[in-house]
Amino acid sequence: MDMAKALTAASLLKLKADPSKRREIGDGILTGLYFVIQPTGRKSWAVRYRASGIPKKVTLGNSLFGDDADCAGEELTRIRREAAHILERVRRGEDPGAEKQAAKREVKDEDAANRDKFKTIVERYLKEYASKRRNYPEKARLLGLNLKDEVNAHRAVGLWGEKRIQDITRRDIREHLEKLATTAPIGANRTFAELRKFFNWTVGKDILPASPMTDLQPPSEENDSRNRVLIRRKEVPGSSDNELRWLWQACEAYDGAAGRGPFGPLLHLLILTGQRRTEVSAMTWGEIDMDAAEWVIPAARSKNGEPHVVPLSEQALAVLRALPRIKSKAGYVFTTDGENPVSGFSRMKQRIDKLMAEIAGEVEIPDWTVHDIRRTVAAGMQRIGVKMEVTEKVLNHKSGSFRGIAGIYQVHDYADEKRAALDAWGRFVIDLVEGKAAQNVVPFQQERA
């Protein structure tokens, strides 16, 4: 260390770095205060003292005065004041350096705790992985967040948000899924799938050594045969046209005016178009051309990432014409507040099931899901003579007839065939509801001749 002389603004400006070593210049006025110059030229301040006989040091930060004599004088005065306060605490028996280190450790521990919070990890997963997927909003919803970062208290983030992810147990997850399954068995399985994907992602990011969901089974049994339809299908025992009729009538009886949302018309449109629930529920008036009788699902909302034109039958247009338009910037068709698409499908399904049971009387209706409506449309189109490739175009499938190289070279848009199919299907549905569905099989074939 250099010999201690009283530091002044002028002397500070003259002090230079030694490329071979670090310099510490003591202040002759305040013993224990040092001006430190690194071989690189970086300058800083420090206080040295002893606590319990052990040498200690507290750094006071970098020197910032540069070549300005006035700034050097002001900095020296301020640093001496801070150093004098530290040395006074030492004389009282305190150890400022140890307290500073403890405070740093506390901040570091707090940062580490926040870093491992379940909510923090979910937000990172959504940002780094899920946000790049088409169904990002649904992934966030299943985990307990929405696009406004609002937390659902009954979902994973609401239940475990403040817990360390390492402290979430297999039992926690299983009990959460089982509770969801009591009211929404299919939804519980979707949550199971998303949680499993999330925990697998954390393993890949070295956040967890292993997923707590390994070998955990879905909470609800689903129809693995994928044969559940709501119309008669001779190869499916027990299937009946009555189920689609009862569903249509239940939709008509659904009390949307009592604050339950426009679910009746929404389900009617699912039946008449065969499109996905997420696509229909988030439909906007801007996507619909009533004069051309077309609905264009934009690429951003289409499952295969391509725009999809859905011809609207007269029956589908009638459903849309009967809907009130809630003025809003978003322009959602099925909405209660104008700003958000309708939600609450689990409650809707429970009410529809109740209404169908009342209409069916003593006939027991097997479990079904909203997605079974889409499967019903496919089966119904086959029944009235629509070719498989046309049905797949209506449903916007990129499989079956359009898989692989056939899909690359198949550029025909099937616009006329899709319209004929949906027009025939719309008439078939209404005739079925009125008890005379069989009349539509031959007319569709004649249209295509």
Do the beta carbons of residue 113 and residue 120 sit within 8 Å? no
Q: d(Cα 146, Cα 305) in Å, to the nearest integer?
A: 22
User: Looking at domain 116-204, which of 3.40.50, 1.20.1440, 1.10.287, 1.10.150 is its CATH number?
Assistant: 1.10.150
369: confidence class by pLDDT, cuts 50, 70, 90: confident
Q: d(Cα 47, Cα 29) in Å, to the nearest integer?
A: 13
* Parts of the chain belonging to CATH 3.30.160.390: 2-107
Residue 400 has pLDDT above 80, yes or no: no
- The residue among 367, 390, 364 whose CA lies nearest residue 377 is 390
Mean pLDDT of 411-438: 85
At 141, list the tokens: 């919803």
- pLDDT, one tens digit per residue, over 81-110 is 999 999 999 988 889 888 878 777 766 655
- pLDDT, one tens digit per residue, over 170-227 is 999 999 999 998 887 878 888 999 999 999 999 998 899 889 998 888 887 765 445 6
Q: d(Cα 193, Cα 195) in Å, to the nearest integer?
A: 6
115: confidence class by pLDDT, cuts 50, 70, 90: confident
| CATH code assigned to 241-448 | 1.10.443.10
More confident residue, 391 or 400: 391
143: confidence class by pLDDT, cuts 50, 70, 90: very high
Longest Cα–Cα distance in the chain = 110
Mean pLDDT of 290-301: 91
Residue 112 has pLDDT above 70, yes or no: no
Q: d(Cα 344, Cα 151) in Å, to the nearest integer?
A: 16
Q: d(Cα 374, Cα 376) in Å, to the nearest integer?
A: 5
Domain with residues 2-107, CATH architecture = 2-Layer Sandwich (3.30)
Mean pLDDT of the chain: 84
What percent of the chain is modeled with pLDDT above 90? 43
- pLDDT, one tens digit per residue, over 219-241 is 877 654 456 788 777 666 666 78
Give every CB contact of residue 183 below 8 A, 6+ residues apart in sequence.
346, 350
Partners of residue 43 on adjacent β-strands:
37
Enclosing H/E stretch for 194: helix 185-204
* Parts of the chain belonging to CATH 1.10.443.10: 241-448
Predicted model pTM:
0.51
